[in-house]
Structure 1
Amino acid sequence: MARWKAPATVEPPAPPSQPTGWAARLYRGQAGLDVVGRRRILFGVAGTVLLIALVSFGVRGFTLGIDFRGGTEFQIPASVGTLDQTQSAVSRAIEAADPAASVVSAQRLGGDHPSYLIRTTSMPANDTATAKSTLEGSLHLPASQISDNRVSAAWGAQVTQRSLLGLVIFLLLVVVYLIIRFEWRMAVAAVSSLAFDLVATAAVYSLVGWEVSPNTVIGALTILGFALYDVVVVFDKIQENSRGITARSDRTYSEAANLAVNQMLMRSINTGLVALLPVGGLLFIGAGLLGAGTLEDLGLVLFVGMGTAVYSSIFFATPVLVSLKQRQPSLRAHTRRVNSRRAAAKANREREERESMVSPQPAAALATAGATANPAADVAVAASTGAPGNASKAASRTGNGRQAPAGARGSKARSGGGTAGRNRRR
């Protein structure tokens, strides 16, 4: 008959190892990036940006384009020379026709037939014709190759009014959507973040002196959509982490929001980089290398605004939201409850550590340890404790600490007993 064999045990597969990279630790909340805890510092940074913006707006102002303040444009073929030479020739021609006139901006336009676009202050029609005749002689060009165009400031004012109306409507729709989707505190934080993006972008334009054109206004409205998308993604993660948080005692609302920021930081950075790559190509390649000057204003505002939007969605919108949420009585009580529980748990651990460090060892353990080391001392210890059994056991051990054989103990006992009997008979 065949012998029975136990079935072979199958070991369960080892769990897959988790990624240990910085991005993986950041997603799991193990990177220790405390954004919410340093919100006062971040508010200080935002306040500094706001202060610089206000000072720049008051001192430097904005360089408004010809579409907003009116003026005259001269478009001249690039074959006449460099941009500086053409700008100098136009400046001399308009000053000869109207001493109050001046050149506002000059840029190179690309394409199959490159040309220079020189913009000046507003000039009457007869002065424009005189300047154009002067340019024909100085640049040695026929009148058909030099084009002029007068732009009225009324058109720029109309663009500004329509843009402001579109901005107000956009913000109202954003507030309504966020209140329905989340709550009014998240709507306030999101609108504050969008306002910060606009102010920061405008401050850069004012400090650098870039020309504000209708393309700039269109780009500013475009970055609001991108900034809103990034803020909504972060707020959705915060809502997921904080759902039912008052019924738990493992973390506070601030910690849940900070965990959401850590989890969404890499996503926001990746989204921002992907969005900035084509915009950077539009700005640096299209406007810089290829000379597409009409794309310069749009590329500048998109590049600056999107970069600011990535920053504000993480380091401004979330701290504002947490500051507003911490004003709720329920969340304040929950925070105190969590902190009290943690303090009590910490005190218990410290007390247990102190007790474990000062508690003495049991006497029996000390006696056993000594018995194994010194057999002679075992007899004294057993005798002092009044345990004859222990004394006899200790005495029956040999010099090397091992117990004597049973026969030897019996022979010694018998011989001792015989001697005692002989002494009694005597």
Structure 2
Amino acid sequence: MSKLGSIGARLHRGEVSYDFIGKRKIWFAVSIALVVISLGSLLAKGLALGIEFKGGVEYQAKVKVTHNTVDDVTSAVKSTNAKDLGDPVVTTIGANQVRVQTKPLSQDDIVKVREAIGKEVGVPTDQVSNQQIGASWGSQIANKAILALIVFLILVFGVIWAYFREPKASMAAIIALIHDVFITVGVYALIGFDVTPATVIGVLTILGYSLYDTVVVFDKVRENTRGITGSNRYTYSDATNLAVNQTIVRSINTTLIALMPVGSILVVGTVVLGTGPLKDLSLALFVGIAVGAYSSIFIAPALLAMFKEREPGMQALSRRVLAKRAQAGVTAGTPVAAGAVAGAASAADTTRVQDRPKAASATAGVPTASSRPVRPTSGAGRPQPARKPRSKRGK
């Protein structure tokens, strides 16, 4: 068995554990910092909306891409002095195509820009394609994406509530999902990648991935906490921490396996192709999968434990468990592996039995049972009469 597999087996059995839930203030602080940075990026820089959302004209032409292609084409388009041209966005697609995006233009200005691009890259004007995209279409896409996100969150809340019969689990999962969305969008704002319909698809996809990982952890929590109030071995936080330790190796393995192909697509879409929906989709998936795994391990279970520990029944359980630990000599707040509390309690009980004073029969002047003569017994246990010596028999 590999070293990682051996560690995973010991974590699953509860022989070793890391106190994920006990250190939840650290994880919450990290998440709050990431969310604040994301919000700051959104407010300071905003999202670089693609032409699909803000409208405009897109031109494409075949050209042998060089280091000066972007600058040369940009200068050629600006030299047309088209009305409301603004700053054109020029990017390359692979090694043999250039793409130009401008604001909405009149038909005459569109022809001027096509001619300028064709002249610069050395192709006829009719080989420079153009496509007009209205801003209203982009706003419809944005509104439908927001509506889809809201409907998704509502359905997730209801499904988790129905499956776990626990609204607090739904609340923890929804907060973790919103956390993932904020950080993913913040990364887009920070890096400056264009937000396109492919980005929206990627964001909705990572929500499902993050939710899947969270449900797996919550299912293990439910298994560990079944009938927990009838025992004094674990608090709810202890059982939740054990569930995270039991599933963490699986979460790491699935996350790494998912990130490797997505990372390859991201490199190909960014370095080789330069632009396009492949890059937009892969970035959202890469960031979302990583953040979703983080929230499933560090955020969602900690939130669930925090919500549940506020219930009166769980607070009473915590008091009983802490009292038993103090009696057994286990330090309060120490992450306890499976059976450790019971083992400590058993050892304490054995010690108490060994230290009990002897019974009154062992006091001075009173013979104990072991010091009294024992009459021989038959196999059935009936006492037998004492027999005379052979020399005195018959007298």
The bucket for the TM-score relative to the shorter chain is: 0.7 to 0.9
Preserved contact between residue 74 and residue 148 of structure 1 (Cα < 8 Å): yes
Displacement of 1:142 after TM fit? 0.7
Structure 2 residue 62 is the aligned partner of structure 1 residue 77: yes
Structure 2 residue 223 is the aligned partner of structure 1 residue 245: no
In the TM superposition, 1:377-392 aligns within 5 A as none
Once residues 212 and 228 of structure 1 are traced to their aligned partners in structure 2, the CA distance between those partners, rounded to angstroms, is 23
Larger Rg: 1
* Aligned equivalent of 1:28, options 9, 13, 29: 13
Structure 2 residue 130 is the aligned partner of structure 1 residue 148: yes
Structure 2 residue 69 is the aligned partner of structure 1 residue 49: no
| 1:374 alignment partner in structure 2 | none
Once residues 222 and 350 of structure 1 are traced to their aligned partners in structure 2, the CA distance between those partners, rounded to angstroms, is 53
* Aligned equivalent of 1:258, options 204, 220, 241: 241
* Aligned equivalent of 2:292, options 300, 309, 319: 309
Once residues 308 and 276 of structure 1 are traced to their aligned partners in structure 2, the CA distance between those partners, rounded to angstroms, is 11
Structure 2 residue 113 is the aligned partner of structure 1 residue 131: yes
Displacement of 1:292 after TM fit? 6.6
| 2:251 alignment partner in structure 1 | 268
Once residues 237 and 75 of structure 2 are traced to their aligned partners in structure 1, the CA distance between those partners, rounded to angstroms, is 61
Preserved contact between residue 180 and residue 288 of structure 2 (Cα < 8 Å): yes
| 1:179 alignment partner in structure 2 | 161
Once residues 215 and 254 of structure 1 are traced to their aligned partners in structure 2, the CA distance between those partners, rounded to angstroms, is 40
Once residues 254 and 263 of structure 2 are traced to their aligned partners in structure 1, the CA distance between those partners, rounded to angstroms, is 14
Give the structure, 1 or 2, with the largest relative contact order (CA under 8 Å, sep 6 or more): 2
| 2:380 alignment partner in structure 1 | none
Preserved contact between residue 237 and residue 260 of structure 1 (Cα < 8 Å): yes
TM-score normalized with structure 2 length:
0.79
Aligned residues: 336
Once residues 102 and 112 of structure 2 are traced to their aligned partners in structure 1, the CA distance between those partners, rounded to angstroms, is 14
Preserved contact between residue 287 and residue 294 of structure 1 (Cα < 8 Å): no
- Name the amino acid aligned to 1:22: I
| 2:305 alignment partner in structure 1 | 322
Displacement of 1:107 after TM fit? 3.2
Going from structure 1 to structure 2, the CA distance change for 1:96 and 1:176 (only over 3 Å counts) comes to same
Task: Deviation per CA, 1:277-308: give whole Å up to 9, x if none.
Answer: 22122211355335573301001101110110
| 2:90 alignment partner in structure 1 | 106
| 1:167 alignment partner in structure 2 | 149
Matched-pair identity in %? 39
Task: Deviation per CA, 1:118-160: give whole Å up to 9, x if none.
Answer: 2223322211211222233333321121111221111110101
Task: Deviation per CA, 1:152-172: give whole Å up to 9, x if none.
Answer: 111110101111111111111
Preserved contact between residue 109 and residue 294 of structure 1 (Cα < 8 Å): no
Going from structure 1 to structure 2, the CA distance change for 1:65 and 1:26 (only over 3 Å counts) comes to same
* Aligned equivalent of 1:229, options 207, 212, 237: 212
Going from structure 1 to structure 2, the CA distance change for 1:178 and 1:90 (only over 3 Å counts) comes to same
Once residues 20 and 304 of structure 1 are traced to their aligned partners in structure 2, the CA distance between those partners, rounded to angstroms, is 27
Going from structure 1 to structure 2, the CA distance change for 1:332 and 1:104 (only over 3 Å counts) comes to farther
Displacement of 1:200 after TM fit? 0.6
Going from structure 1 to structure 2, the CA distance change for 1:87 and 1:62 (only over 3 Å counts) comes to same
Task: Give unpaired runs (5+ residues) of structure 1.
Answer: 1-17, 357-426
Structure 2 residue 101 is the aligned partner of structure 1 residue 119: yes
- Name the amino acid aligned to 2:203: A
* SS of equivalent residue, structure 2 residue 260: helix
- Name the amino acid aligned to 1:62: L
- Name the amino acid aligned to 1:199: F
Displacement of 1:350 after TM fit? 9.4
Preserved contact between residue 103 and residue 118 of structure 1 (Cα < 8 Å): no
* SS of equivalent residue, structure 2 residue 60: strand
Preserved contact between residue 97 and residue 128 of structure 1 (Cα < 8 Å): no
Going from structure 1 to structure 2, the CA distance change for 1:211 and 1:260 (only over 3 Å counts) comes to same
Which stretch has the larger CA shift, 229-238 or 26-35? 26-35
Once residues 104 and 192 of structure 1 are traced to their aligned partners in structure 2, the CA distance between those partners, rounded to angstroms, is 39
Which stretch has the larger CA shift, 22-31 or 120-129? 22-31
* SS of equivalent residue, structure 2 residue 329: helix
TM-score normalized with structure 1 length:
0.73
| 1:359 alignment partner in structure 2 | none
Task: Deviation per CA, 1:194-253: give whole Å up to 9, x if none.
Answer: 000000101111111111111101110111110110000000000001110011111111
* SS of equivalent residue, structure 1 residue 163: helix
Preserved contact between residue 61 and residue 118 of structure 2 (Cα < 8 Å): no
Going from structure 1 to structure 2, the CA distance change for 1:221 and 1:141 (only over 3 Å counts) comes to same
Once residues 37 and 91 of structure 1 are traced to their aligned partners in structure 2, the CA distance between those partners, rounded to angstroms, is 59
Displacement of 1:95 after TM fit? 4.1
Task: Give unpaired runs (5+ residues) of structure 2.
Answer: 331-344, 355-395
- Name the amino acid aligned to 1:78: V
Preserved contact between residue 219 and residue 302 of structure 1 (Cα < 8 Å): yes
Which stretch has the larger CA shift, 134-143 or 43-52? 134-143
- Runs of 4+ aligned structure 1 residues displaced above 6 Å come to 347-353
Going from structure 1 to structure 2, the CA distance change for 1:309 and 1:156 (only over 3 Å counts) comes to same
- Name the amino acid aligned to 2:101: R
Task: Deviation per CA, 1:246-285: give whole Å up to 9, x if none.
Answer: 1111111100000000011011111111111221222113
Displacement of 1:86 after TM fit? 4.3
- Name the amino acid aligned to 1:21: S
Going from structure 1 to structure 2, the CA distance change for 1:106 and 1:96 (only over 3 Å counts) comes to closer
Structure 2 residue 24 is the aligned partner of structure 1 residue 39: yes
| 2:198 alignment partner in structure 1 | 215
Preserved contact between residue 58 and residue 101 of structure 2 (Cα < 8 Å): yes
Preserved contact between residue 253 and residue 331 of structure 1 (Cα < 8 Å): yes
Displacement of 1:25 after TM fit? 2.4
